[in-house]
A and B are shown apart, each in its own frame.
Chain A
Amino acid sequence: MKNITELTQNLTQLYAALKDGTIDVKVAAEMNNTAGKIINVQKVQLEYAMLRKEAPSIKFLEK
């Protein structure tokens, strides 16, 4: 997983797998939780840049 597009794709696959029942709910919950943490880290980075009135180039967010 290199960037946010891949993360979104992975999460979409996870959602599909969860609906199909091909993945354990506990595992899915942990993965989803981790994805949430990654998103929050990016959010903090963006907010920090916004407060400093900067336009940073964050590799993870580049497509």
Chain B
Amino acid sequence: MEVANIYDNGPISLIARIKDNLSIYTAKKWAHYQVAYAEPWPRSSPLRVDLVALAGATTIAANGVIAKRLVPILQATDGEMLQIRFEPLDDVEGVVYEQSGTGKFNSRNAHARVNMGTCIRDPYLATTTLFVMGYNRDLNLEVQNPNPVALNQARFQFFGFRYVLDAISPDLSSVIDQRGQQDKAKQEEITRQLAAGDKATVAQHIGPTTWLPAEGR
């Protein structure tokens, strides 16, 4: 099977196969993983959430907002990563935050939304692709109602892939100095370069990898 670019404009497909490497920008540094397991997350009712119900409300007000909130079905655990696309099933707009304070799909002056029309020009919802990585780095979803009437529900449908990742810890014991001793300074420098995402260092000590942003970056 061919592995997709991470924001492939076609049907969703794996970004890495089992035993492939992933280099993920998360928690303000690059972390390197090997895919231990991957499985599809089919579009289905358990991956559907009604933000009106989740917020404990009866409606989303006319031109109103449901404040951003955690979506429990998208919570991952340590070593788990979700590759997700989504769309609203009702006439509302979704605003994504990864971690509750970091806007996803935003720029300096704009924060893009996903609405019912997104799938018209982008039938595979490729532009909604996002990743949720690990424990306590959750996605938050805000809902906007563009209609001048209140709506009774604001459902969102998610689907994608789920990965289990093993962290890669390269064996640096062969990094020695001229006296044949462990070169601690050099080893620390390599570790620092790996966290900084230096491509040459990663190529040497991790091998081929797919570079991936997480948490809205």
| A in complex with B | no
Taking Cβ atoms with an 8 Å cutoff, the residues of B that contact A are none
Q: Which residues of A contact B (CB under 8 A)?
A: none
